[in-house]
Structures are given as structure tokens and as C-alpha cells.
Amino acid sequence: MQEILKCKYCGKECKNANSLRNHERLCKQNPNRQITKSGFIAYNEKRKNEGIKGENQYTKAKRLGLPKPQIEEKTLEKLSNIWKGKKLSQEHKDNISKGIRKAIQTHPESYSSCNVNGRVKNYTYNGIKLDGKWELEVAKYLDSNNIKWSRPTVGIKYLWNNDIHLYFPDFYLSEYNAYIEVKGLVRERDFAKWKNVNNLIIIKAKEINDIRNSKFDIYKYLVP
């Protein structure tokens, strides 16, 4: 039978003697534990003192005028699996929500409809990311009718649970100053968004079927 090796400070079980030695020298309950310091701390302090701001792959791409980096599906799946089964405290959730709202209100152009999506498959059409097959079908329908469209980059403010949020419809038709929202399941919060947009066309399952069967006429909703 393999001997069970435990840390003499905290009692944690280790797989082998080498693992035990490494753990004990760094164990938080070891009064003489070895304190390690990341080399990145001094590096970051040096950059800060030199006035160099932190940079990631997105800010670097923006600075160099390169396309925005895309996260691979495998990476997204891996990140998703990391959080499976884990629960955040309500305080943590509230802090995340506040941070996101502040970021959106400060930089609304970075949080357009193409950044906000649920669990649907993404499609890239003419270089534009669309959320789900329905949006793809609507985009193709608009093109087939020579209607110019874009993804909104300016959010529309709405009130929900006593807080101000920003709403980004799925499409903006500049020639008609109209918006399109492609919607499956409708929730109470959606009505809070929609009532702030007078020129909004809501496309649901029935309209998608009409588009597929060449029966949908968007011009009856549009005013030149």
C-alpha cells in the first residue's frame, strides 16, 4: 500500500515526496515558508513608471489598425467548462453588472449588438458577425431588397429595475431611420427596451417563415 504523505503544517495530502517538499516550503501555515514574487510585478512597475499603459491583444490590434482578434470555439468551450458547476455570490454578480454597465455607458461603440448575444451559433456575413440563423436570413432578405443596413453602434437608453441600461437593436436601416429586432422568446425586459423605440420592426418566428416563403413585405413597415 502506498504511503499517504501529508503536509506537517496543514495536513494536505500530496502525491509523492517531491510534491510534499514543494508544498511544505510554500505552505501558508508554514511560519518560515518561502515567499515568491512574480517577475512580472517588477516588470509592470517599470512600465508604469515609464508611462507605458497595459496592453492586450485587443488594444494592440486597435493600435496597429489590425482586425479584432477572434476567440476560437475550442477556447470558448474550454472557458465555459471551467465555470460549469461554479456559483457566484450575489454580491459578485452585482459588482460584475455594475462594471459592465459602466463600461457600456463609457464606451457604447464597443458594445453594439454584434457584441451582445445569447447561446446561438454565430455567422459571419459580408464580414459582419450575426447572432443566429434568423439574423442571417434577415440580412440576406434586406440585401435582396437593396435595403442598406448596419449593426447599431449607439445604444438606446432604457430603464429596468431602477437602473439605466443600453439597448442595441439587431439592425439599423439608415435610409428609413428604422430598427429591426429579431426575436425568439420575448421576456418582460424586452418590452422595457422596445417602448423607447418608435420606429422598431420586430421580426419573430412568423415573419421568419414569411421570409423563407417569400411572403414577407418589409415596406409596409417602412416610411421613406
Query: What structural domains does the chain harbor?
Result: 122-221 (3.40.960.10)
72-130 pLDDT, tens digit per residue, is 778 878 777 776 776 767 777 777 677 766 666 665 555 555 555 455 688 899 999 99
Pull the grid cell for residue 158.
Answer: 432604457
Mean pLDDT across 47-66: 77
Mean pLDDT across 30-39: 82
Using a 10 angstrom Cβ sphere, with 0-12 exposed, 13-18 middle and 19 or more buried, the burial of residue 72 is exposed
Lowest mean pLDDT across 63-67, 68-72, 169-173: 68-72
Using a 10 angstrom Cβ sphere, with 0-12 exposed, 13-18 middle and 19 or more buried, the burial of residue 113 is buried
Instruction: Tell me what pLDDT residue 215 has.
Output: 94
DSSP character at residue 219: G
131-189 pLDDT, tens digit per residue, is 899 999 999 999 999 999 999 988 899 998 888 889 999 999 999 999 999 998 888 99
Q: Which amino acid is at 149?
A: W
**Residues 208/137, Cβ–Cβ less than 8 Å:** yes
Closest of 208, 202, 176, 205 to residue 190, by C-alpha: 202
Q: How far apart are CA 157 and CA 195, in angstroms?
A: 11
Better-predicted residue by pLDDT, 161 or 43? 161
Q: How far apart are CA 145 and CA 141, in angstroms?
A: 6
Angle between helices 133-144 and 205-212 (to 10 degrees): 50
